[in-house]
Amino acid sequence: MANLKELAARGDKFTGGHRACAGCGATIVARQALLAAGDKPVVTTCATGCLEVVSTIFPYTAWDVPFIHSAFENSAATISGVEAAYQSLKRQGTVTEDIRFMAFGGDGGTYDIGLQALSGAMERGHNMLYICYDNQAYMNTGIQRSSATPKGSSTTTSPNGKKIPGKVQFRKNLTEIMAAHGIPYVAQSVVGNWSDFTKKVEKALAKGGPAFIAILQPCRLGWGYPPELTAELGRLAVETNFWPLYEVEDGQYKLNHTPKERQPIDEWMFQQERFRHLKRPEHQAIIAQIQQDIDARWEQLNKKCSL
Amino acid sequence: MSELKKYKELALGGNIEKGGTAVDFKTGDWRSSRPIYHPENCIQCLFCWVYCPDSAVILKDGKVTGFNLDHCKGCGICAHECPGKKKVKAITMEEEVK
Amino acid sequence: MQKIILAKTGNEAMALAMKQVNPDVVAAYPITPATEIVQIFSQYVADGEVKTEFVAVESEHSAMSACIGSAAAGARTMTGTSSQGLALMYEMIYIAAGLRLPIVMADVNRALSAPINIHCDHSDTMGCRDAGWIHIFSENAQEAYDSMIQAVRIAEHQDVRLPVMVTTDGFIISHGMERIDTLPDADVQSFIGKYDPMMHLLDVKKPFTVGAINLTDYYFEHRRAMVDAQNNALKVIKEVGQEFGKKFDTNYGLIEKYQLDDAEVAIVALGSTCGTSKVVIDKLRQQGVKAGLLKVRVFRPFPTEEIARALENIRTVAVLDRSDSVGGFGGPVFTEIRSALYGSAKKPQISGVVYGLGGREIDMEQIEGLFMDLKAGKVKADAVSYLGVRE
């Protein structure tokens, strides 16, 4: 894996001057992913959403690699087409370089509206890495709940109200759904652990075939915390076991990090505005349910990893 | 780039014909606080560089030398992530005076 | 020039044209009555008869999305669909045109739900008429075949760079067997030439951005540029059609006039109804009725001036629409034509006739009856009526 000096020597392919919020985690994802791709040519796409909007306001683009955006739910389908063109033109000899393909999408564009296109692309086996920057809500439209939004989170469409204290449902486990596709590489990473993410992007690209990485991306606006904590809150999510770092390579589960001492989930939740209402004593049961869910999922994951 | 082009002067299909043109756009005036670099406390770990959302940490020969204040939005991730030397930070945030 | 005579359905003819174009990428999804096009083409791929990378996507939305990615990556790209499939693509249809990607699509015209119906009308493609695509209708399988080949040249022309849809009437043409003249593969290849994508995503040394967001400062300019491209297409479609005629004996234009110049009563139609109407006109002419037809081959760009010139000296005209703009004043062809004639010094009496929705048959007697009613002044001018529905 490339160390930071080597990454630094590569130079940025995702530039400054984009219009993301101060402390945005999504742009950290894009930047680190392209650094990890290294000197090998990569063609990218991004679903409509924060990352795409802030990075391509005409005539300014932060992408210093070939980039296409077409719509919201079809990042995987769009890159399928680019990759199909590559397969065809390479076979015909018109394109000679060895090119890799990378698609980005937020959790709305991936867990929800883009799930069908993603599933289709993975099943077809395109040579592509799909990176879901998972900030757990529709941030670009103003913080609406998605199927990635965790239970209890107050969003503008699952608001904390007099009767309902935020999102009722637990979040969907997309990483497991992707693993069920039986593709060569699936992983979870986090903003705040550059080395884990870099390693996984490198591995996914080197393996060839379809690959999927879900990277938990703290969003200072949607989660409600001071901007300097973006990386810190990512790491804390891992230390609570809310977001385990693991990978599924050719069907083999591997845990990449076990917290020395698992932190209680409220340590993480109560640093964020979206969960603040759950501090009230009457919501203790909800916190307990959330903790129980995390512990159960962790246990299941560990079973898979020890097989 | 500030001059608005007429429709016949634009590239086909709304393409931006060059990569990375966002470097020409300044976001520095969004800042309410700015990073101050204290080289004496810097161990060149590059954490500030790798976590900067705005690619605004300037490196020379692989070493941190300062910040691109045209792009830095003052989020403070660099200062927060900085381990410093003997727990004394190499980056601190200072309020912008307007 | 040696032509090869074959018996082909419309779908087979379109699939054959696609095979001879031999595109770099086809991304498609099955839908009645266009399924065969994709099916037959898949067999060409499986048999190694084309160099195409075939992407069997999981929806029409993804079909057009993949076509967009492929075309932006510099590949000659084609697809086929119909009705609900086109409706599902709708979002991407606008994007393909806005990004100025020369994708060629075969669409088999079929009614839109609800109620669900698999038969012919033009509602599906008419729903996309403002999307920026070029729309070419076919009277028969021969035209579908010829237009698919011409469409590649039109779409890729430097002054146009817009996607093109070539349509056939569902089942009537798509599944009707006809005798068609086909061209040798080499002639098709030399006619379409080599594709120059200009800028493309696989040119990794020259990174650029496709599909950037435009704020209020640039969106209008980019849409305005498409208007020029559509206007340029009026000339390009004619040039390509004439060159096709020079090489392969059949000329193509934007419209076709059939016994129109001296006609007293005329109808305007699209697609297979034109063929039926020609037979009726031949019969009426023998009886001394000065009947004529204006066939609109190209609906986008709309040949406004040519149509106005062709119709302005006719006494009475009925415009046949195989789709309706529900709640509007008549079907889309009627409103376009009525508007086209507004500036003419002489104007025909004009009425709109909506017919054939959901595959409701239109026969020679009905068309003859319409001509006779027009002649007798029984069709109310500046009004819309519905032909063949139980009222």
pLDDT digits (tens, 9 = 90+) for C43-91: 999 999 999 999 999 999 999 999 999 999 999 999 999 999 999 999 9
Nearest to C72 among A64, A68, A80 (CB): A68
User: To 5 degrees, how large is the angle CA A66–CA B27–CA A13?
Assistant: 25
Two tokens, residue A21: 């919020």
Instruction: With beta carbons less than 8 A apart as the criterion, state whether C65 and A81 touch.
Output: yes
Q: What is the pLDDT of residue B7?
A: 97
> Could you say which residues from 92 to 111 on chain A have a Cβ atom under 8 Å away from some Cβ of chain C?
92, 94-95, 97, 99
Q: What is the pLDDT along chain C (391 residues), one digit of tens a residue?
A: 789 999 999 999 999 999 999 999 999 999 999 999 999 999 999 999 999 999 999 999 999 999 999 999 999 999 999 999 999 999 999 999 999 999 999 999 999 999 999 999 999 999 999 999 999 999 999 999 999 999 999 999 999 999 999 999 999 999 999 999 999 999 999 999 999 999 999 999 999 999 999 999 999 999 999 999 999 999 999 999 999 999 999 999 999 999 999 999 999 999 999 999 999 999 999 999 999 999 999 999 999 999 999 999 999 999 999 999 999 999 999 999 999 999 999 999 999 999 999 999 999 999 999 999 999 999 999 999 999 999 9
A60·B59 Cβ contact <8 A: no
Q: Please give the tally of structural domains in chain C.
A: 2
DSSP 3-state of C363 = coil
- Are A152 and A166 in contact by the 8 Å Cβ rule? The answer is yes
- How far does the CA of residue C160 sit from the closest CA of chain B (Å)? 10
Interface subset of C 185-224, CB within 8 angstroms of B: 198-199, 207-212, 214, 217-218, 220-222, 224
Residue B2: band (very low, low, confident or very high) from pLDDT cuts 50, 70, 90: low
Out of C228, C248, C268, pick the residue that ends a domain: C248
The domain that contains A135 carries what CATH number? 3.40.50.970
Domain stop point among C232, C248, C264: C248
User: Do the domain assignments include residue B39?
Assistant: yes
**Rounded-to-integer distance, Cα C24 and Cα A85, Å:** 7
Q: Is residue B7 part of a domain?
A: no
> Are B46 and A8 in contact, with CB atoms under 8 Å apart?
yes
Q: Are residues C273 and C140 in the same domain?
A: no
Subunit contact B8:C228, Cβ cutoff 8 A: yes
CATH number at residue C26: 3.40.50.970
Chain B residue with minimum CA distance to A219: B53
Q: Give me the number of domains chain B comprises.
A: 1
Would B81 be classed as within a structural domain?
yes
Contacts of C191 (CB under 8 A, 6+ apart): C149, C153, C183, C243, C244, C247, C248
- Separation of first and last alpha carbons in chain A: 26
> What is the pLDDT, as a whole number, of residue B98?
67
CB contact burial C288-301 (16+ within 10 A = b; e otherwise): ebbbbbbbbbbbbb
What DSSP state is assigned to residue B16? B
Q: Distance (Å, rounded) from C-alpha C260 to C-alpha C269?
A: 13
Cβ proximity of A298 and A246 under 8 Å: no
- List the single best residue of A15, A46, A56, A225 to mutate versus B (max B Cβ within 10 A): A15
In the block, residue with structure tokens 């009563």: C265
Chain B interface, Cβ < 8 Å to C? 4-8, 10-20
For residues A279 and C328, what is the distance between their CA atoms, to the nearest angstrom?
Answer: 57
Pairing state of beta strands C349-355 and C384-387?
A: parallel
Q: Among partner residues A24, A58, A62, which is closest to B20 by beta-carbon distance?
A: A62
Measured in degrees and rounded to the nearest 5, phi and psi for residue B77 equal -60, -40
pLDDT band at A54 (very low <50, low <70, confident <90, very high): very high
| Residue B62 structural domain | 26-95
The beta strand positions in B1-98, using DSSP E, are 33-37, 57-60, 63-67, 91-95
Residues of B in contact with C201 (CB under 8 A): none
Cβ of C100 and B18 within 8 Å? Answer: no
In chain B the first and final C-alpha atoms are separated, in Å, by 27
Show the domain range for A64.
Answer: 4-305
Say if residue C291 is in the same domain as residue C218: no
Give how far B52 is from chain A: nearest CA, Å: 7
> CA dist A225 to A23, A80, B36, C134, C335, Å?
10, 37, 22, 51, 57
Q: Which domain holds residue C98?
A: 4-248
Q: What is the mean pLDDT of residues A68-94?
A: 98
Same domain, yes or no: C188 and C285: no
Task: Summarize pLDDT for A259-270 with one digit per residue, the tens.
Answer: 999 999 999 999
Query: A115-124 and C60-72 are packed helices; what angle lies between their axes, rounded to 10 degrees?
Result: 70
Interior angle at CA A124, CA A123 and CA A130, nearest 5: 70
Q: Does pLDDT of A24 surpass 70?
A: yes
User: Residue A133: beta bridge partners?
Assistant: A106, A215
Residues C325 and C233 both lie in one domain:
no
C202 and C285 housed in the same domain: no
Q: Which of C201, C214, C220, C222 to mutate to test the interface with A (most CBs of A within 10 A)?
A: C201
Average pLDDT over residues B48-68: 97
Which among B14, B17, B19 has CB closest to C222? B14
Question: Which CATH number characterizes residue C280's domain?
Answer: 3.40.50.920
Q: Contact, C210 vs C222, CB < 8 A?
A: no
- CATH number reported for the structural domain that contains residue B47 in this entry: 3.30.70.20
Please indicate, yes or no, whether the overall pTM of this predicted structure exceeds 0.80: yes
Average pLDDT over residues A180-205: 98
Q: Clarify whether residues C182 and C111 are in a common domain.
A: yes
Q: Which residues of B touch C217 (CB under 8 A)?
A: 4
Instruction: Find the DSSP H helices in C271-386.
Output: 273-286, 304-311, 332-340, 364-375
Chain B contact set for A32 (CB, 8 A) = 50
Q: Rg (Cα) of chain A, in Å, rounded?
A: 19
Helix (H, G, I), strand (E, B) or coil at C194: coil
Contact B22 A230 (CB under 8 A): no
> In b/e form, how buried is each residue of C67-83, taking b as 16+ CB within 10 angstroms?
bbbbbbbbbbbbbbbbb
Q: Give whole-number Cα distances, C335 to A271, C120, C348, in Å.
A: 61, 21, 14
Residue written as token pair 């195409």: C52
Give the DSSP per-residue string, chain A: ---HHHHHHH--SB-S---PPTT-HHHHHHHHHHHHHTTS-EEEEE-TTHHHHHH-BTT---B-S-EE---STTHHHHHHHHHHHHHHHHHTTS--S--EEEEEEEHIIIIITTHHHHHHHHHHT-S-EEEEEE-SSBTTTTSB--TTSPTT---SSS-B-SS-BS--SPPP-HHHHHHTTT-SEEEEEETT-HHHHHHHHHHHHHH-S-EEEEEE---IIIII--GGGHHHHHHHHHHTTSS--EEEETTEEEE----SSPPPHHHHHTTSGGGGGGGSGGGHHHHHHHHHHHHHHHHHHHHHHT-
* Rg of chain B, C-alpha, whole Å: 17
Chain B residues with CB-CB distance to A35 below 8 A:
50
Sign (positive or negative) of CA dihedral C94, C119, C105, C241: negative
Looking at C229, C248, C267, the residue that finishes a domain is C248
Q: Does position B1 have pLDDT exceeding 60, yes or no?
A: no
DSSP state of C111: P
Residue pLDDT, tens place only, C202-232: 999 999 999 999 999 999 999 999 999 999 9
Q: What is the pLDDT of residue B3?
A: 85
A53 vs C: CB within 8 A? yes
Residues C353 and C230 in one domain: no
- A230 touches B: beta carbon within 8 Å: yes
Q: Is residue B90 part of a domain?
A: yes
